[in-house]
Chain A
């Protein structure tokens, strides 16, 4: 309930922030955006960074816009902004449907999409969504800027390929042509972590699936891309048979563990059902 002491910095520019980060040894300084994951962990003393770099006062990091063939989500875009955005419907349905399901409405006021990805909780919803939509993450340090494809971001529970001196400045989602998607989440109550979550994002071309994105929350050491399930849909018509097969393969790709939220068997079955429902919903969304 009482965090350990730290030095606090609230820089006005990104360069200042990066400079401070660079001065600290590995793991000693942490970026503070929404704080909805970091501060609870600090209060329980599971983490005790020596310095916090608060980026909330830095301008220009809250863009949510589609431009140059991609959707740009700045580092300070809050879950609430996504929940309310008219942009995240239709072809970006996977994002728009996930946003209202993140934690609870008060947390959504402050928590950020980028922060959620950097935190890499295997029960984090945005991770699955971004895997399904083939996003990439822009990371800047004092020396350089690089783009990390989402597939290369998550390495394990709460572990990413980000360097300690890097700040995620933006998440980018390639703008699809004809596409539809959704996010389905089973939780015991609002604010709980997902028992199971499934993100679905399908792009079509000439009546068949050009690319399918199916990713799973809470059923593995990280968010899991159901690659075989995705493959099974490529160049197929999105019919009931294909949907059922993809759902079956997604369930097989899941690595759930029995715990107080349910048995392995139960969770695997939810993956199957949610994948099928999600694909049907994506199909309906594209038809209308």
Chain B
């Protein structure tokens, strides 16, 4: 590596070579799958081929007889230790291993713990499960129809598939705005389910020391501290005895935020057997069972005056949550961060109704660019504004400009009750238009259309919500969303910076060191970021 200058200021904004590269380019990264502990066992998960079925029986006897198999864990065994179900990050429950029923295709039904992963997978074929298929509910619309099979019949008060009904904004004021509108534009759309698919799948090595009671869990985790608390809640282990270690992560994109059954069973098995247990899922498991993104149906309208001024917005949103409500949504806002659906615009009246429904699919919904529904909301308002531009015959850039929240209105509280702390949107729009040569593009478009060619110009303004905020507004499972950092400077002038944020490739070891270097003058190579 090159020698680093010891100038004090000027570290921020400087392009610096990454410190973490050194180990990755020689193949010495420390990903979960690379971890080997003495006595370590391997876990494989048997998944349900059915999306909805009763389980009549599970026979693990043949699997248990296979040489090299140590134990086969089923939901019944976990139930004895009250571990068959676990809390989700949204206060619902999700099965660790199925007991009475499977409620999604790919649901975890049994886990084989063996000396060798090949043997573990052989054993999966030797487990006999007697399934009785049930009618499958594949869309939230079908889920909310009268007479639809109740998916979460395990929950005492659940008589249908409705999870939540939230409203935000002022229904009356919005109705009035629409009644008085010169123009109403509608958009009905579906943001389909997609999967973040980080290149490294999820996994863990759980090591519960029987002598000390300490649980060390190496995990693909984007939020090790939150996970530690969840583990304490789920496993009933004292939180100070749990250490979650997230070494190198091969991409997260939100996929490595939820707590998965595999982590829980591996930890329980390690506790039971007194040996480390490694679970690495395969790509199939990752794609069919882990935290996906989106799957939102949105139907909304924008009310406008003749001159293009926006006066009201109303949106109905239906979310396909899968079989458990497992959003990692940190805000206490009803409708989550779908609140920013008024986007960058000064819309005086808005009313948002959001509903969530259970379906026979994998739980989740907020992975991928950590949207917390921000991406869905932004997509919706921008498409709606675009539609309004087409219907009004207005220029999409000018229609936006006209309706931007003006700088003097900040801090601005939107009609759905969300506070935007600061902003100055027009200059950003101007820069974008100028850099892309907008007027030239529009002329080119006109010419192309005259020639019978179609040329499209896309525009979107994105008011991004990043970082969670004060505890009065943000919380998950009581863990709150504050962050912390600890900087320790040693007598020799070297420093260790400990942070609450975990890199999955973003380069924290370099960038945070730059910040400390900027402030304290310690050269970045003398700062270790953990």
**A→B interface (CB under 8 Å):** 1-2, 4-5, 44-45
In the complex, whether B152 has a CB less than 8 A from a CB of chain A is no
Cβ-defined contact, B125 with A2, below 8 A = no
CB A183 to nearest CB in B, in angstroms, measures: 28
CB A31 to nearest CB in B, in angstroms, measures: 23
Q: A4 — which chain B residues lie within 8 A by C-beta?
A: 122, 125
In the complex, whether B282 has a CB less than 8 A from a CB of chain A is yes
Cβ-defined contact, B118 with A45, below 8 A = no
Q: B284 — which chain A residues lie within 8 A by C-beta?
A: 44
**B→A interface (CB under 8 Å):** 117-118, 120-122, 125, 282-284
The chain A residue with its CB closest to the CB of B121 is A2
| Nearest 5 pairs of A and B residues by beta carbon | A2-B121, A1-B282, A2-B118, A2-B117, A4-B122
Q: A1 — which chain B residues lie within 8 A by C-beta?
A: 121, 282-283
The chain A residue with its CB closest to the CB of B285 is A1
Q: B283 — which chain A residues lie within 8 A by C-beta?
A: 1
Cβ-defined contact, A45 with B117, below 8 A = no
14 A-B pairs whose Cβ atoms sit less than 8 Å apart in the complex: A1-B121, A1-B282, A1-B283, A2-B117, A2-B118, A2-B120, A2-B121, A2-B122, A4-B122, A4-B125, A5-B122, A44-B284, A45-B121, A45-B125
Q: A2 — which chain B residues lie within 8 A by C-beta?
A: 117-118, 120-122
A2–B52 CA distance with the chains assembled, in angstroms: 27
The chain B residue with its CB closest to the CB of A4 is B122
Q: B122 — which chain A residues lie within 8 A by C-beta?
A: 2, 4-5
Q: B120 — which chain A residues lie within 8 A by C-beta?
A: 2
The chain A residue with its CB closest to the CB of B283 is A1
A44–B125 CA distance with the chains assembled, in angstroms: 12
Most chain A beta-carbon neighbours within 10 Å: one of B117, B120, B121? B121
The chain B residue with its CB closest to the CB of A1 is B282
Q: A45 — which chain B residues lie within 8 A by C-beta?
A: 121, 125
A5–B121 CA distance with the chains assembled, in angstroms: 11
Q: B125 — which chain A residues lie within 8 A by C-beta?
A: 4, 45
CB B485 to nearest CB in A, in angstroms, measures: 39
CB B118 to nearest CB in A, in angstroms, measures: 5
Interface of B is mostly: helix
A44–B122 CA distance with the chains assembled, in angstroms: 12
A44–B121 CA distance with the chains assembled, in angstroms: 11
A45–B283 CA distance with the chains assembled, in angstroms: 14
Q: B282 — which chain A residues lie within 8 A by C-beta?
A: 1
CB B156 to nearest CB in A, in angstroms, measures: 39
Q: A5 — which chain B residues lie within 8 A by C-beta?
A: 122
A1–B118 CA distance with the chains assembled, in angstroms: 9
Q: B121 — which chain A residues lie within 8 A by C-beta?
A: 1-2, 45
CB A10 to nearest CB in B, in angstroms, measures: 21
Q: B117 — which chain A residues lie within 8 A by C-beta?
A: 2
Q: A44 — which chain B residues lie within 8 A by C-beta?
A: 284
CB A109 to nearest CB in B, in angstroms, measures: 21
A243–B357 CA distance with the chains assembled, in angstroms: 53
Most chain B beta-carbon neighbours within 10 Å: one of A1, A4, A45? A1
CB A226 to nearest CB in B, in angstroms, measures: 30
CB B121 to nearest CB in A, in angstroms, measures: 4
A1–B122 CA distance with the chains assembled, in angstroms: 11
A46–B498 CA distance with the chains assembled, in angstroms: 47
A5–B120 CA distance with the chains assembled, in angstroms: 13
Given A1-B282, A45-B125; 12 other pairs, CB 8 A cutoff: A1-B121, A1-B283, A2-B117, A2-B118, A2-B120, A2-B121, A2-B122, A4-B122, A4-B125, A5-B122, A44-B284, A45-B121
CB B354 to nearest CB in A, in angstroms, measures: 28
A1–B283 CA distance with the chains assembled, in angstroms: 9
CB A35 to nearest CB in B, in angstroms, measures: 18
The chain A residue with its CB closest to the CB of B44 is A2
CB B51 to nearest CB in A, in angstroms, measures: 18
CB B123 to nearest CB in A, in angstroms, measures: 11
The chain B residue with its CB closest to the CB of A44 is B284
A45–B118 CA distance with the chains assembled, in angstroms: 12
A5–B116 CA distance with the chains assembled, in angstroms: 14
A44–B284 CA distance with the chains assembled, in angstroms: 9
A128–B120 CA distance with the chains assembled, in angstroms: 41
A5–B284 CA distance with the chains assembled, in angstroms: 21
A257–B120 CA distance with the chains assembled, in angstroms: 38
A45–B282 CA distance with the chains assembled, in angstroms: 13
A2–B284 CA distance with the chains assembled, in angstroms: 13
A2–B283 CA distance with the chains assembled, in angstroms: 12
CB A259 to nearest CB in B, in angstroms, measures: 15
The chain A residue with its CB closest to the CB of B119 is A2
A1–B121 CA distance with the chains assembled, in angstroms: 9
Most chain B beta-carbon neighbours within 10 Å: one of A2, A5, A44? A2
A149–B121 CA distance with the chains assembled, in angstroms: 41
A2–B282 CA distance with the chains assembled, in angstroms: 10
CB B115 to nearest CB in A, in angstroms, measures: 14
CB A242 to nearest CB in B, in angstroms, measures: 26
Q: B118 — which chain A residues lie within 8 A by C-beta?
A: 2
CB A46 to nearest CB in B, in angstroms, measures: 12
Most chain A beta-carbon neighbours within 10 Å: one of B122, B283, B284? B122
The chain B residue with its CB closest to the CB of A2 is B121
CB B251 to nearest CB in A, in angstroms, measures: 18
The chain B residue with its CB closest to the CB of A48 is B125
A214–B141 CA distance with the chains assembled, in angstroms: 45
CB A2 to nearest CB in B, in angstroms, measures: 4
A4–B124 CA distance with the chains assembled, in angstroms: 11
A288–B125 CA distance with the chains assembled, in angstroms: 59
A188–B283 CA distance with the chains assembled, in angstroms: 20
The chain A residue with its CB closest to the CB of B281 is A1
A45–B44 CA distance with the chains assembled, in angstroms: 14
A2–B114 CA distance with the chains assembled, in angstroms: 14
A2–B118 CA distance with the chains assembled, in angstroms: 6
CB A7 to nearest CB in B, in angstroms, measures: 15
A44–B282 CA distance with the chains assembled, in angstroms: 10
A5–B118 CA distance with the chains assembled, in angstroms: 9
A273–B477 CA distance with the chains assembled, in angstroms: 56
A61–B122 CA distance with the chains assembled, in angstroms: 35
